[in-house]
Structure formats: C-alpha cells, structure tokens
Amino acid sequence: MDSFALVAISGSATVSGIPNGTYRDVVTGDTKVVTGGSLTASVTGKGNLRAYVLDLPDNPAPGRVGADGPFPR
C-alpha cells in the first residue's frame, strides 16, 4: 500500500478495517496509533479539517501544514 488517509471535516469520523500503524494529521501534526483497525478523528467548529495519513517506513507521513492560527499557513 502506498498511502492511506482519513479525512474529517466539521465533526467527527470513524473508519474501521484500516491497516494498523501510526497515522499523522497533516493539519495539526497530531499522531494516533491504530492497533485494532479503527481510527476516530474529531473536529471542533465548522470548516475545520483533520487528515490522518498512514506513516510508512518507505512513505513517511508529512508533518503539520503550518503554524497555529485561525487558518493553516
């Protein structure tokens, strides 16, 4: 597998049946470790986004997009 991502916008999302491993949010840099094939991402406010990408040895997940603030920059 080359890459795998879970995206949540303006709420929360749970996805099951995904590969175990470390997922990194490309917006905030938050890391979640999946051991049971399920990941939940929670987003507060409207228009916010979390995009968790599977961090693989041959294809590392990116870090966070930008600095803290009202919008990623």
Plot region of 26 (φ>0 → left; ψ -120 to 50 → alpha; else → beta) = alpha
53: tokens are 């990408």
- pTM of the complete model: 0.73
With bands split at pLDDT 50, 70 and 90, how would you rate the model's confidence at 11?
Answer: confident
Residue 30's pLDDT band, with cuts at 50, 70 and 90, is: confident
**Nearest of 66, 52, 69, 61 to residue 5 by alpha carbon:** 52
13 with 7: CB under 8 angstroms? yes
Rg (CA), the chain: 12
Place of tokens 């990941």: 39
More confident residue, 35 or 5: 35
